[in-house]
Amino acid sequence: MKTSTETFTAKVYAIAQKIPVGKVATYGQLAALAGSPRAARAVGELMKKNPDRSVVPCHRVVASNGALTGYAFGSGVLTKKEILLQEGVSFVGAKVDLKKSQWNRS
């Protein structure tokens, strides 16, 4: 029986890996799915400290308003945006079109 924190962290990473290509999820959404709807901030911490972007597509995680926030790899948000465009995510100016590309969890 692990502490709640480890479960939360594990869930966040697991969920992040479940985000399909061409879709994005908000920090709050990941937090909610992980069991703490208010832990959006903590999710950001996990993404920043994420073990590996190959196992945790942190680039598919954006702010609730669709804006791209920090990125621990490449050139930061610039690289993140490029990757999302590569994935086929719809963009509106400098933000993601959540109406079209927000992850509709199964």
Partner DNA sequence: AGATTGACCGTGT
Partner DNA sequence: GACACGGCCAATC
Residues acting as catalytic residues = 58
Pairing relationship of beta strands 25-26 and 95-96 according to DSSP bridges: unpaired
Distance in angstroms (rounded) separating the CA atoms of residues 13 and 17: 6
Distance in angstroms (rounded) separating the CA atoms of residues 63 and 10: 20
The answer to whether residue 27 forms part of the interface with DNA (CB under 7 A) is yes
CB closer to DNA, 33 vs 42: 42
Among 1, 2, 38, 106, binds DNA (CB under 7 A): 38
Closest by CA position to 52, among listed 17, 85, 6, 102: 17
Among 14, 45, 75, 86, binds DNA (CB under 7 A): 45
The answer to whether residue 64 forms part of the interface with DNA (CB under 7 A) is yes
The answer to whether residue 17 forms part of the interface with DNA (CB under 7 A) is no
